[in-house]
Amino acid sequence: METKTPENAGSVIAVARDGGHNFSKPTCDNIKLVSGLGVEGDAHFGKTVQHLYRIKKDPDVPNLRQIHLIHSELHDELRGKGFAISPGDMGENITTQGLDILDLPCGTILKIGEQAAIEITGLRNPCYQLNDFRDGLMKACLDKAADGSVIFKSGIMGVIVQDGTVKPGDQIQIELPAEPYIPLDLV
């Protein structure tokens, strides 16, 4: 795995939040990240799981999905397949650019802007809501690796480990965990 340096780290192109449990999130000027809780003002803010279907199963499970990031390169790919997708449309809080977020290992720390930091916990589990938003979108967010395994491309999830405000234009620095690296899995 390649170690990222400031020259090849990414940046934030959009931020979004929504206080309701809606699929898409409206973009805004900035979002405030709160350690151990998530994005202030977002429906998924909390120490324990906040996703409605997961609350029904076990409301006391730790919230490993406090924040959702998608790479803008996926939006570009989807637009090439005929899907009109913009930042926030797929429910992400942060849209990144220039950073291969899907290849980062579990436990990677993303330092964003002046203070904020996120620990990556895993891949977003794509669900039927993608198809409710745009017919066929779920399939377009899946791919096959050379070995036949499924590649989930609909973003990554994380927890907030350092408070801070994030806005478009902020730089993202990467702090890889100790080896051996653990590949991302669905959370």
Q: Where are the domains of the chain?
A: 6-175
- Residues 92, 153: contact at Cβ < 8 Å? no
As a whole number of angstroms, the distance between CA 138 and CA 5 comes to 33
Assess contact for 132 and 156: CB atoms under 8 A: no
6-175 CATH pick, 3.30.565.10, 2.40.33.20, 3.40.720.10, 3.30.450.30: 2.40.33.20
- 59: helix, strand or coil: coil
Average pLDDT, the chain: 93
pLDDT of residue 3: 42
Please count the other Cβ atoms lying within 10 Å of the Cβ belonging to residue 176. 15
Asked whether the bond before 180 is cis by omega within 30 degrees of 0, the reply is yes
Stretch 2-24: mean pLDDT: 81
Q: What's the rounded Cα separation, in Å, for the pair 158 and 135?
A: 27
Strand partners, 174: 110
pTM, to two decimals: 0.94
Greatest mean pLDDT among 6-10, 48-52, 56-60, 113-117: 113-117
Q: How far lies 107's CA from each of 1, 3, 16, 64, 161, in Å?
A: 14, 14, 23, 11, 11
Burial class (CB in 10 A: 0-12, 13-18, 19+), 160: buried
Q: What is the pLDDT of residues 37-91, one digit of tens each?
A: 999 999 999 999 887 777 788 889 999 999 999 999 999 999 999 999 999 999 9
Distance CA(172)–CA(43), nearest Å, equals 24
Inter-residue contact 116 to 160 (CB < 8 Å): yes
